[in-house]
Amino acid sequence: MEDLTKIAKECASGDVRAQEKLYRTLAPKMYGVCLRFSKDNTEAEDNLQDGFVKVFTNIHKFRHEGSLEGWVRRIMVNVSLSKFRKQHLMHPVEDMAVHDSQQVSEDVLDKISANELLELIQNLPPRYRMVFNLFVMEGMSHQEIGAAMNITEGTSKSNLARARDILKRKVKQLYGELDKNENYSA
């Protein structure tokens, strides 16, 4: 693999071939990121496209201080975030009811494929999906999430808890049987 820094410099000078090289190198991973933040492939492709247009128009501003991949990934997350903000202007009434927290063993989760986990995330309500992704995958704090999504820290926390709950319930629903059977056979 060619040095990304060199490619980035060539991209900044408008070299189309370098742009394609950068795209081919980073697109699969970034598509993965976009897929997690989207409800389906269409939305993910959209975000990927807008994200890369932003990358190429702003690449001359990249200071080569951190990793290029990290920078591109931040752009993808930001595009997903700004799109979420535009599409979900209404603040839903928070469901403050206490949910009986579900218990799912890690063993069950281990057996589920990445594709299936992705689908679970994509099926979460948009707000929960955003918070779950930002907290779990991007490692952002609730404070940062609150600022990015224009919600309070508390809302972020409760959204995360709710997201986890939904995921666990879904896992139980879909894979609970499998789990039991395996237990019996063990």
Partner 1 sequence: MDKTFRNKLEGYTAEPPSHVWDNIQGHLAAQRKKRRLAYARWIAAAAVIILAFMAGWYFNEKSEKVIPEAVENQIPAPQKTTPQPENKMAQQENKQNNVNEGAGKTGNPALAAKKITSTLTEETVLVAAVDNLDVTIPENENSENAGTGSVQFENFSMNFLNSRKASFSVNLSEETLKQEQVTTVDQLSDAEKGLIAENAKILSEPSKKEGNWKMGLTVSPGYASQVTSHTQNYAQNMTYSGTEGIKNVSGGISVQYKTGKKWSIESGIYYAQNDQRSSNAPDVNYSSLVSGPAFDSEKSYFNTAVNMVDGQMAMNSTAGVIEFSGTPRGTEVATGVEDLYGGSNTLLTNSEFSQVFDFIEIPLYVRYNILDAKIGVQIMGGLNAGIIAGNNVFMENRFGTQNVGKTQDISTLNISGTVGFGLNYDISRRISMAVEPRLNYYLNSINQNPDVMFRPYRIGVYTGLYYQF
List interacting residues with partner 1 (CB under 8 A).
14, 16, 19-20, 23, 27-29, 31-32, 35-36, 41-42, 44-46, 48-50, 52-53, 56-57, 83, 104, 106, 109-110, 112-114, 117-118, 121, 135-137, 164, 167-168
Residue 46 Cβ vs partner 1, minimum distance, rounded to whole Å: 5
Nearer to partner 1, 36 or 127 (CB): 36
Residue 155 Cβ vs partner 1, minimum distance, rounded to whole Å: 19
Distance of CA 171 to the CA centre of its chain: 19
Question: Dihedral angle at the C-alpha atoms of 95, 101, 106, 107, nearest 10 degrees?
Answer: -110
Nearer to partner 1, 35 or 81 (CB): 35
Residue 93 Cβ vs partner 1, minimum distance, rounded to whole Å: 27
How wide is the angle at C-alpha 84 spanned by C-alphas 80 and 86, nearest 5°?
120
Nearer to partner 1, 9 or 54 (CB): 54
User: Of 97, 71, 83, whose CA–CA distance to 129 is shortest?
Assistant: 83
Nearer to partner 1, 2 or 116 (CB): 116
Alpha-carbon Rg of the chain, whole angstroms?
Answer: 19
Residue 32: Cβ-neighbour burial (10 angstroms; 0-12, 13-18, 19+): middle
Q: How many CB atoms lie within 10 A of CB 103?
A: 7
Residue 117 Cβ vs partner 1, minimum distance, rounded to whole Å: 6
